[in-house]
Structure 1
Amino acid sequence: MDLSILLMSIGIFLIIVSFFFKNSAKKVEKDVEELSISIFQETNQLKRRLKVVEEELLLEPEFQVKSKSTSHHTAHNPKVQQMMQAVQQAAQTAKTTQTTAQTKPIHQIIISQVLELNRQGLSVADISIRSNLTEEQVRQVIANGGR
């Protein structure tokens, strides 16, 4: 009986001591959760920034890479020169696409959007940016009243 009382007292003592030690698994789990949340937030922030940059590139078709200031740095790197040429060709293609879009009829949804933005008091330049039309097209739509 002496042995069973000794084992039982040791067991009770270990149970009581275990309440005083913190569970490290919970801390690790909490750290992993915080890390995953921060990574998710950073990813969303990067996506938003990328979207803004893409929109800026789409809204600025006359983007040109200046070759005078960058020719010193890129003279020894043909890949950079090829990239610059590709960007310039894309900008020229976008410009020609924009001029051909001027000859196409403007969709009724865009016309109503232009008229509504004009009623809200936005400038012709702002309406042009938001509707992807030239300022002259915006003026024509406003002058014609959507007809």
Structure 2
Amino acid sequence: MDLSIILMIFGIVLILFSFFMKSSTKKIEQDVEELSISIFQETNNLKRRLKMVEEELLLEPEFQVKSPKAQNQKVQQVMQAVQQAASQSSIKPVQTTQSAKPIHQIIVSQVLELNKQGLAIPDISMRSNLTEEQVRQVLANGGR
């Protein structure tokens, strides 16, 4: 027998043998597909949870922390926002019925916001630099 015939027979045997072997690429493809599906499911799960958390945060704006430090920080943030808004816009002052000194609309909104947060009239008076009577008038008029 010639060497070329032996090599040809050996090659044919290997080709036939390869047809009967299990393909490892099919197993790898299946594993990759399962992995991609599980990652897709996990990301959808995380998106759904994130959406729920965002909705909770948006639905509970009246949530208040009981500690006075956190409440004071929130009041300070509101006051800073009010001051910034007042400096950036030209808002016409609102006249109270008994006082000759006009009260700016921005201070009126500050008083209303502090009242919504549950502060007492003396505290609102101190933080807004108004008298207690002026605060009562603003609250009674509802900001008008």
Smaller-chain TM-score bracket: 0.3 to 0.5
> Normalized against structure 2, the TM-score is what?
0.44
Taking structure 1 as the reference length, the TM-score comes to: 0.43
Higher relative contact order, structure no. (Cα contacts within 8 Å, ≥ 6 residues apart):
1
Q: Which has the larger radius of gyration?
A: 2
